[in-house]
Amino acid sequence: MSPELSYAYYPGCSGLSTSKDYEISTRAVCRALGIKLQEIPDWSCCGSTPAHTVDHVFSAALSARNLSLAEQMGSDTVITPCPSCLTNLKVAAHRMEQEPAFQQEVNRHLQEPCVNTVQVKSVLQALIQDLGPEAIAKQVEKPLSGLKIAPYYGCIMNRPPEVMDFDDPENPVAMDEILRGLGAEVLPYPLKVECCGASYGVARKDVVMQLSGKLLDLADSLGADAIATACPLCQMNLDLRQDQINAALKRSFRLPVFYYTQLMGLAFGLEEKDLLLNKLNVPAGPALAKMQQAAEAAAEQDAQTKEQ
Amino acid sequence: MSAGNGRELRIVGFLCNWCSYGGADTAGVSRLGQPTDLRIIRLPCTGRMDPLFMFKALLSGADGVLVSGCHPRDCHYSEGNFYARRRLELAKRLLPTLGFDSGRFEYTWVSASEGKRWQQVVTAFTEQIHTLGPGPKFSH
Amino acid sequence: MKIGVFVCHCGSNIAGTVDVAGVAQAAKNFPEVAFATDLLYSCSEPGQEAIVQAVQEHDLDGVVVAACTPRMHEPTFRRAVERAGLNRYMFEMANIREHCSWVGKDKDANTRKASDLVLQAVEKLRFDRPLQAKSFDINKRVLVVGGGVAGIQAALDCADGGLEVVLLEKTSTIGGKMAKLDKTFPTVDCSSCILGPKMVDVSMHPNITLYAYAELESVEGYVGNFEVSVKKKATYVDWDKCTGCGLCMEKCPSKKAYDAFNEGIAPTRAINIPFPQAIPKRAVIDPTYCRQFIKGKCGVCAKVCPTEAIDYEMQDSFVQEKVGAVITATGYDLFDYRKYGEYGGGRYPDVITSMQYERLLNASGPTGGHIQRPSDGREPKKVVFIQCVGSRDKSVDRPYCSGFCCMYTAKQTILTKDHIPDSQSYVFYMDIRAPGKMYDEFTRRAMEEYGAQYIRGRVSQVYPYKDSLIVRGVDTLLGSQVEIEADLVVLAVGAEASRGASELAEKLRISYDAYGFYMESHPKLRPVETNTAGVYLAGACQGSKDIPASVGQGSAAAAKVLALFSKDQLESDPQVALVSQARCVGCGKCVQTCPFGAIQLAEDRAGNPKAEVIETVCQGCGLCTVTCPQSAIQLQHFTDNQILAEVNALCQQAMEESFES
């Protein structure tokens, strides 16, 4: 096992509700890899999209509070699975660093001022940069051989590049590398960073039908068995609304949409209680069965060649 | 556009003709506003910059001295600025011995096309000198 | 000494933010100032006359003009002072425009500053001495660096004017970018048909020595007398024996070599001649692909060569040339299209650059002029052109307009229609920049006669979908999103400074801008000169240019060289170092320091060693003056006393000691 990695951990609100499967599997995978997650005590919501549409100082203060709490823990890095939380934390830290006056204003709202010394990363970034793909691949017990996956990062994980400062903003590859290490076949999916429609699912469902529909269509046309994602909102639009999209576009997609951490857990041989695959709307069963068949066929072929 | 509280300090600049003097011209042509404290002396090359000029200026009442030439390797005379760099780095270290804050003297490289950079250099150096305040005055 | 001070209004350029009359009034009280006045435009004819008159009326010994930068008008005023009967070095300028009125907003502060700068100039002038120029012989040969169309034109014009020309080209053939083009705008005439004869002229001209596959190694000397070292890179083929028959290329078994001439769209052989009209038409081995070099055995070319020209042992060699002037015509390179990840260049084979498309269109290109998709060879029906790829975009550090992409894109849409009549071209553009003779008409023709669809907006993404490429963008005129299913996407890549431009600039001691383009001496009035005497610019090395402008500048640079060489001797700048024999102790430190070898040790009559300056070699940098432990060697016009006088003027204290005697 690699040297002990330890982080302050920010689960985010959706991790306790809509994306519980993401949160649980993230913790399970980190545990399996020996990464220590210390949940920030008494953390609060990052404000998500609504906060910064109303008031930038308020929005930054919400994130600065969490950063300040992480500082008090004595941690130098905070990681979060959710790209939306990540964006808020990073934007707040970035702007406070650029504008000392802004930092002062933000700190007026806080009991304990934020010194802004903590680094913010996504769990994905920590996995690929601090741990490395080789260490992850080593942990694999049941390779995902034969599973064709379209990797989908969502639009905010890497953008804007000057704030997020991770991977190629137009063609990120971090998740590709991890999935490849799990033994899966990673498809060249060109719409990796396209918008899924995000929270328009509430106000303008038609927009999500079009945008997410396009993502599903491309994955389908490439022959994908499944989509892997790193964002709770993307996962919800693609998975939970897949039936709505089918109805709206007169299509019949049946593509399971996994969190990449669920796929890691699968390959690591973790149990259902750590993966919560049953929470997926489009069942994972057929894709996994196909993978199983492929694996068995390969094994049979292997055995035959050996006999000969 | 004066840095500080409106009171000017005396800053003497020594600029090489080929790069930095041209860079200051470029800043002017582009109307890039600067503090008014600086007065520029034109030299053919920073290689002509005798460190004594800097000491003399500070001892005569200048509050700051700025030298600027071509970027290393870009010298119009091939190697003049390499000599300048060695001489001036040494001279800067001598300043505290004479009772001057070494922040009163800086040397930098600005090319003839870098008007924007010249504006930044002048503004930053003027602010630096205003932070240090008026230099020590010696009676003769 | 009687000094006259003239303070220029420069219209409102100076007078707008400086109390010009007040400065002139203050100057009357400066030491030895006998006359001071303000002038509306001192550089104008009446302005200069006023200076000449004042010198004569008031019997002045020296003149200070407070106006613009001396880098602009110092020569103008020196001539005026000379007309008035003074030595031209009894003159100083105070820069109260670029360094004062244009950069300060506060009129009072500016006026004080201007007044200080005038005092500084007066104090320096008090130590000015008349200086006389010396004449020296010049070498009337010219070096042209770069064999593209600008360099070709410059070389031919110089050679026709009777000068001996040394032409340097880093690839194995001259012709540059223009040789790769299929047709040229706005006439749609064949590029190689108009360039080819000029290339042949170069090879036939008795006055031109061509070094192809060669680079400039080093430059010594100064205007009139440069000594350059040329590196002839190893070609592994003896060009004296090679006849350009091409048999080696036919038989070479290494067929996967990168073809730079064809922009990599098709491979070439490890030994090759770039194209049939190459000048010189000689073969070169690319050792990164040649089996003889990689595996140590093959030797096919050596076996088949009828003249036994192959030489695997060849090394780089060096040639020394003496010239009096240098014209740089090193051209440009294309923006790296992979920098825009969203366009997928480099990832998707059917996203190509405009220059690659040019090679597909070209009848002598790898597809014989048939437009074929690199992925499957299919003829595209829908072609999307994306403009400004690496132009006008701060995010990739290319904020400038490359200037010719709008035009060549229009040309390529016309050629597309000519090649494939049932095709449709789409052009995503920001603005159409077509200022030039018949240029705008040409882009209109592309739209109106050839039916190219112009869409004003940027492309956000290109991605493959089934058998084609989806191009997603915005139509800002309609205010709507656009999606086009394209067969081929052509990126109109912009121009950037040619790789290695800055290294060459350092060798030639010329300046370049933030993007690596060479700086002209003055953006309007001296567009082909550099600040280094005897070095001139032609073509896109100075900034992106199309063919007519490059050719024009090639001729302009040639005209400058011909004018320079119209005299047998040049006058040296007398602002050189001067040794005080009395103070020199003959230590020789100045001799070691001088970058130009302009100082030597000689003996005086008593046999003591003394430094001696060769005035026509000294370039006036002043390194020696600072080095001399005795202050015995002084750069004239920039002596220690003069600079200290300026320091003292600015520090408002009397100079109490002198470093000179």
| C217-228 pLDDT tens trace | 999 888 999 999
Do B73 and C502 form a contact (C-beta atoms < 8 A)?
Answer: no
CA A267/CA A140 separation, integer angstroms: 5
CA B95/CA B97 separation, integer angstroms: 5
Tens place of pLDDT per residue across chain A (308 aa): 446 899 999 999 999 999 999 999 999 999 999 999 999 999 999 998 889 889 999 999 999 999 999 999 999 999 999 999 999 999 999 999 999 999 999 999 999 999 999 999 999 999 999 999 999 999 999 999 989 999 999 999 999 999 999 999 989 999 999 999 999 999 999 999 999 999 898 899 999 999 999 999 999 999 999 999 999 999 999 999 999 999 999 999 999 999 999 999 999 999 999 999 999 999 999 999 988 888 788 888 888 877 76
Average pLDDT, rounded, for chain B: 92
Q: Nearest Cα to C623, choosing from B51, B79, B13, B57?
A: B79
Hey, which bits of C316-445 come out as E strands? 317-323, 325-328, 332-334, 351-353, 382-389, 424-429
CA B109/CA C119 separation, integer angstroms: 27
pLDDT bucket at C293, cuts 50 / 70 / 90: very high
Select the CATH number that applies to the domain covering C3-125 from these four: 3.40.50.1400, 3.40.50.300, 3.30.1490.20, 1.10.1040.10.
Answer: 3.40.50.1400
Q: Does B131 touch chain C (CB under 8 A)?
A: no
Query: Are C463 and A168 in contact (CB < 8 Å)?
Result: no
pLDDT at residue C524, rounded to an integer: 87
Spatial strand order in the sheet of C62-67 = C33-39, C3-8, C62-67, C91-95
CA C554/CA C328 separation, integer angstroms: 9
Which element (helix H / strand E) includes C193? helix C191-204
CA C528/CA C505 separation, integer angstroms: 15
Could you tell me the domains of chain B?
Answer: 11-132 (3.40.50)
The predicted-structure confidence for B104-139, as pLDDT tens digits, reads as follows 999 999 999 999 999 999 999 999 999 999 988 775
Could you tell me the domains of chain A?
Answer: 5-124 (1.20.1050.140), 140-300 (3.40.50.11810)
pLDDT at residue C522, rounded to an integer: 85
Checking if the pLDDT of B5 tops 90, the result is no
Do C328 and C508 form a contact (C-beta atoms < 8 A)?
Answer: yes
Which chains sit next to C, with 3 or more Cβ pairs under 8 A? A, B
Residues from C contacting A (CB-CB < 8 Å) are 340-342, 344, 347, 461, 463-466
CA B4/CA B126 separation, integer angstroms: 9
Cβ-Cβ contacts under 8 Å, B35 against chain C: 104
Do C27 and C5 form a contact (C-beta atoms < 8 A)?
Answer: yes
Checking if the pLDDT of C658 tops 50, the result is no
Cβ-Cβ contacts under 8 Å, C461 against chain A: 190-191, 194
Q: Which pairs count as long-range contacts for C50-57, CB under 8 Å and 24+ apart, including other chains?
A: C50/C6, C51/C4, C51/C6, C51/C77, C51/C80, C51/C81, C51/C84, C52/C80, C52/C83, C52/C84, C54/C4, C54/C6, C55/C4, C55/C81, C55/C84, C55/C85, C55/C86, C56/C84, C56/C85
- The class (CATH top level) of C141-233+316-331+498-564 is alpha beta
Query: Integer distance in angstroms from the first to the last C-alpha of chain B?
Result: 33
Neighbouring residues of C644: CB distance < 8 A, sequence distance ≥ 6 = B53, B56, C655, C658, C659
| Average pLDDT rounded to a whole number, residues C67-86 | 95
**C and A make contact (3+ CB pairs below 8 Å):** yes
Query: Are A221 and C342 in contact (CB < 8 Å)?
Result: no
More confident: C514 or C488? C488
The predicted-structure confidence for C39-48, as pLDDT tens digits, reads as follows 999 999 999 9
Q: Nearest Cα to C137, choosing from C20, C223, C54, C243?
A: C223
The predicted-structure confidence for C522-555, as pLDDT tens digits, reads as follows 888 899 999 889 999 999 999 999 999 999 999 9
Helix-helix angle C107-125:C640-651, to 10 degrees: 150
Task: List the structure tokens of A252.
Answer: 């019949």
pLDDT at residue C509, rounded to an integer: 87
Q: Nearest Cα to B71, choosing from A146, C433, C54, C514?
A: C514
Has domain C577-636 been given CATH number 3.30.70.3270? Answer: yes
Cβ-Cβ contacts under 8 Å, A218 against chain C: 463, 465
Neighbouring residues of C614: CB distance < 8 A, sequence distance ≥ 6 = C598, C599, C600
Task: Pick the residue from chain C with its C-alpha nearest to A191.
Answer: C463
**A257-271, C284-298, C446-460, C645-659: which range is least confident on average?**
C645-659
The predicted-structure confidence for C306-340, as pLDDT tens digits, reads as follows 999 999 999 999 999 999 999 999 999 999 999 99
More confident: C174 or B72? C174
Q: What's C452's DSSP letter?
A: P
State ipTM.
Answer: 0.95
Task: List the structure tokens of C621.
Answer: 């940098």
pLDDT at residue B2, rounded to an integer: 42
Domains C335-496 and C577-636 share a fold: no
CA C232/CA C225 separation, integer angstroms: 22
Domain covering C335-496: architecture? 3-Layer(bba) Sandwich (3.50)
Sequential DSSP letters for C79-102: HHHHHTTS-TTSEEEEE-IIIIIT
pLDDT at residue A58, rounded to an integer: 94
pLDDT at residue B139, rounded to an integer: 58
Cβ-Cβ contacts under 8 Å, A168 against chain C: 341
Cβ-Cβ contacts under 8 Å, B114 against chain C: 514
Q: Does C108 touch chain B (CB under 8 A)?
A: no
Q: Nearest Cα to A253, choosing from A293, A213, A196?
A: A213
Bridge partner residues of C385 (DSSP): C427, C490
Hey, which bits of C487-553 come out as E strands? 488-493, 495-497, 535-537
Centre a 10 Å sphere on the Cβ of residue C440 and count the other Cβ atoms it contains.
17
| Average pLDDT rounded to a whole number, residues B36-40 | 96
Amino acid at C170: K
Q: Nearest Cα to B37, choosing from B67, B2, B61?
A: B2
Q: Which residues 89-108 of B are in CB contact (within 8 Å) with C? A: none
Q: Which residues 614-653 of C are in CB contact (within 8 Å) with B? A: 619-623, 625-627, 635, 638, 640, 643-644, 646-648, 650-653
Task: List the structure tokens of C651.
Answer: 């520090």
Amino acid at B55: F
Is residue C649 helix, strand or coil? helix
Query: Are C341 and A170 in contact (CB < 8 Å)?
Result: yes
CA A42/CA A268 separation, integer angstroms: 31
Do C270 and C285 form a contact (C-beta atoms < 8 A)?
Answer: yes
The predicted-structure confidence for C553-595, as pLDDT tens digits, reads as follows 999 999 999 999 999 999 889 999 999 999 999 999 999 999 8
Candidate from B12, B32, B36 with C-beta closest to C106: B36
CA C7/CA C417 separation, integer angstroms: 64
Query: pTM of the prediction?
Result: 0.82
Which of C108, C122, C621 to substitute to test the interface with B, most B CBs within 10 Å? C621
Amino acid at A190: P
Shortest Cα distance, chain C CAs vs residue B114, angstroms:
7
Do C518 and C528 form a contact (C-beta atoms < 8 A)?
Answer: no
**Residue A63 Cα distances to A45, A268, C519, angstroms:** 8, 33, 49
Neighbouring residues of C533: CB distance < 8 A, sequence distance ≥ 6 = C222, C223
pLDDT at residue C466, rounded to an integer: 87
Tell me the three-class secondary structure of chain A, residue by residue.
Answer: CCCCEEEEECCCHHHHCCCHHHHHHHHHHHHHCCEEEEECCCCCCCCHHHHHHHCHHHHHHHHHHHHHHHHHCCCCEEEECCHHHHHHHHHHHHHHHHCHHHHHHHHCCCCCCCCCCCEEEEHHHHHHHHHCHHHHHHCCCCCCCCCEEEEECCCCCCCCHHHHCCCCCCCCCHHHHHHHHCCCEECCCCCCCCCCCCCHHHHCHHHHHHHHHHHHHHHHHCCCCEEEECCHHHHHHHHHCHHHHHHHHCCCCCCCEEEHHHHHHHHHCCCHHHHCHHHCCCCCHHHHHHHHHHHHHHHHHHHHHHHC
Average pLDDT, rounded, for chain C: 95
The predicted-structure confidence for C345-359, as pLDDT tens digits, reads as follows 999 999 999 999 999
**Residue A136 Cα distances to A33, A169, B4, B35, angstroms:** 7, 23, 57, 57
**B and C make contact (3+ CB pairs below 8 Å):** yes
Task: List the structure tokens of C433.
Answer: 């920049």
Amino acid at C405: C
| Burial class for C167, CB neighbours closer than 10 Å (0-12, 13-18, 19+) | buried
Centre a 10 Å sphere on the Cβ of residue C391 and count the other Cβ atoms it contains.
25
Shortest Cα distance, chain A CAs vs residue C347, angstroms:
10
Shortest Cα distance, chain A CAs vs residue C523, angstroms:
35
What count of CB pairs under 8 Å joins B to C? 161
User: What is the domain partition of chain C in residue ranges?
Assistant: 3-125, 141-233+316-331+498-564, 335-496, 577-636
CA B108/CA B36 separation, integer angstroms: 19
pLDDT at residue A3, rounded to an integer: 61
Which of B17, B25, B104 to substitute to test the interface with C, most C CBs within 10 Å? B25
